[in-house]
């Protein structure tokens, strides 16, 4: 029984260390503001944004303009603005992030 109590006490400092590291001031890769290309800025604006917000704003644009294929919701039918980003007429929602990454610079 004494061993289990010792193990619990040893585990507590690890949690505190993890919490301190997570609450640090340096943003992780998803929180770091990135500058969009001029093509992407036409949709999300020209101010630097974290990658997650860029994806959210692109999805707002897709839903606002009804650009999802009604038969396959995972497929995005690009309008003129999105064609400049995707480089083609259709793109899957999983492939979209690869194209967005090409239009974001740190």
Confidence of residue 41 (pLDDT cuts 50, 70, 90): very high
Whether the predicted pLDDT of 102 surpasses 80: yes
pLDDT tens string 71-90: 999 999 999 999 999 999 99
Confidence of residue 106 (pLDDT cuts 50, 70, 90): confident
pLDDT higher at 60 or 19:
60
H/E run at residue 33? strand 33-36
Whether the CB-CB separation of 69 and 52 falls below 8 Å is answered with no
Whether the predicted pLDDT of 12 surpasses 70: no
């Amino acid at each position: 029984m004494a061993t289990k109590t010792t193990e619990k006490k040893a585990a507590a400092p690890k949690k505190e260390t993890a919490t301190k590291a997570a609450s640090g001031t340096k943003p992780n890769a998803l929180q770091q503001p990135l500058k969009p290309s001029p093509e992407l800025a036409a949709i999300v604006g020209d101010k630097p944004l974290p990658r997650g917000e860029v994806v959210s704003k692109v999805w707002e644009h897709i839903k606002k303009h009804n650009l999802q294929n009604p038969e396959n919701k995972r497929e995005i039918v690009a309008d003129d603005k999105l064609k400049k980003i995707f480089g083609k007429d259709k793109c899957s929602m999983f492939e979209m992030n690869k194209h967005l990454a090409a239009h974001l610079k740190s």
